[in-house]
Structure 1
Amino acid sequence: MRKITMWFLATIAVVVLLFSYRTSTGPDSSPSGGGTVGTSAPGVVTGSGAPADPGRSRGSVERSGSTTVADGPVVQTKRGRVQVQAHISGGRITDITPLAVPNVNNRDREINKRAVPQLRAEALAAQSAQIDVVSGATATSEGYTKSLQAALDSAQFKARP
């Protein structure tokens, strides 16, 4: 009888420990909610936390001559935060810079290392946010296109046919 009681208590303890274990693959596994900020190389985003400049997290537009730089809003996806910045010159999108992409774990980094440059290339070729999602990076793709579309709207960008 004593062995059964010890076995039962040990089983309960193991079950409690298993249910209380937190993995790092959840969308809110970091205190910042999974968003990242800062760039170390083109298309690669590093660091963690909220956007560096909270005033820019909602989207802003800066005009200088014929050049416009518009920040899209931070879009919260199930994998983390996504935010982009669109550079427009001469009525064309000339560059798109990722300000934040999910970067909580190695899987996020590997997915976005491939997906972000592909999204950028497609958007520059299309000259709009109307692009296909990248297979395997659906959440990032949807956040990227929403943030980009909002940036283009705030800059009053009209694609030329």
Structure 2
Amino acid sequence: MLATAATVSGVVLLLSLKPASDPASASAAAPPASAAAQESPQGGSGGGAQASDQAGTVTGDAAQTPYGAVRVRLTVSGGKITKAEAVEAPKGPTSDEKTALAVPRLNQAVLATQNADIDSVSGATYTSTGYKKSLQSALDKVKKAPTGGSSGAAQVRTVTGSAEQTPYGAVQVRVTLSGKKITKAEAVQAPKGGESDEKTALAVPRLNQAAVAAGSAEIDSVSGATYTSTGYKKSLQSALDQAGG
């Protein structure tokens, strides 16, 4: 009888210990799920009901943090945010983990609240703060965007991109848009002096024409003016981001 009682007590002890090990293994599997979510940002859950509405994309300003910049892009359809994503976020050994933890949760919070009044993610304060600043700037751009009635001329606006440094000087592009169409592109800054004058005169007019024709920053570089072309395209993309895609 003593042997039987000892056996029963041993079985009961083993069964009582088993549940304590399962949560630990479950929590160990959680980080990969967060990382996967960061690669494919949460945010499409509200899009199905408004798939027929014309969607617009707005990118917020880059908000600097001690570990890198955060930049948020929103997709808006029918006046509702249908997708939020961080197109730029801190990277590096520790930052990768914090970004994977914070960004998916912040994306989901934006969809839930439809504004920048969202909670920071514990353990990723800098990333959360940068995210909310960039998010607010994107929302401000949405408010300024034309409402798009069924009649009336498209709003004409001029946007200047960031000054992009090259080994021979800065390149900065200004675009005029009618609605979302580029009607004019010009370089308000370009390399000057000596051989640079010749390369600028060769490249900039061609790049301006290409930007209007393509309606985007996906244009070919001009042979013989690679640095100027690269700076031009970066500044052009910056201007288009400010204009809302």
| TM-score between both structures, scaled by the size of structure 1 | 0.56
1:97-116 to 2 correspondence within 5 Å?
97-103=85-91, 105-116=92-103
| Residues in 2 aligned to 1:79 and 1:111: alpha-carbon distance in whole angstroms | 11
| Residues in 1 aligned to 2:136 and 2:126: alpha-carbon distance in whole angstroms | 15
* Structure 1: runs of 5 or more not aligned: 1-39, 44-64
Deviation at 1:112, TM superposition (A): 0.8
Deviation at 1:98, TM superposition (A): 0.9
| Residues in 1 aligned to 2:70 and 2:55: alpha-carbon distance in whole angstroms | 24
Q: Which amino acid letter does the alignment assign opposite residue 40 of structure 2? A: P
Q: CA RMSD in A?
A: 1.6
* Corresponding position of 2:40: 42
Q: Which amino acid letter does the alignment assign opposite residue 41 of structure 1? A: E
| Residues in 2 aligned to 1:67 and 1:128: alpha-carbon distance in whole angstroms | 18
Deviation at 1:66, TM superposition (A): 3.3
Q: Which amino acid letter does the alignment assign opposite residue 92 of structure 1? A: K
* Corresponding position of 2:71: 83
Confirm or deny that 1:118 pairs with 2:105.
yes
Confirm or deny that 1:138 pairs with 2:125.
yes
CA contact (8 A) 1:68 1:155 kept: no
Confirm or deny that 1:66 pairs with 2:54.
yes
Q: Which amino acid letter does the alignment assign opposite residue 156 of structure 1? A: K
Runs of 4+ in 1 over 3 A off after TM superposition: none
* Structure 2: runs of 5 or more not aligned: 1-37, 42-52, 145-245
Deviation at 1:114, TM superposition (A): 1.1
| TM-score between both structures, scaled by the size of structure 2 | 0.37
Q: Deviations over 1:117-139 (max 9, x none)?
A: 00001111011111011011111
Identical-residue share of aligned pairs (%): 41
| Residues in 1 aligned to 2:79 and 2:55: alpha-carbon distance in whole angstroms | 9
CA contact (8 A) 1:68 1:88 kept: yes
> What SS class does the counterpart of residue 69 from structure 2 fall into?
strand
Deviation at 1:41, TM superposition (A): 2.4
Q: Deviations over 1:3-33 (max 9, x none)?
A: xxxxxxxxxxxxxxxxxxxxxxxxxxxxxxx
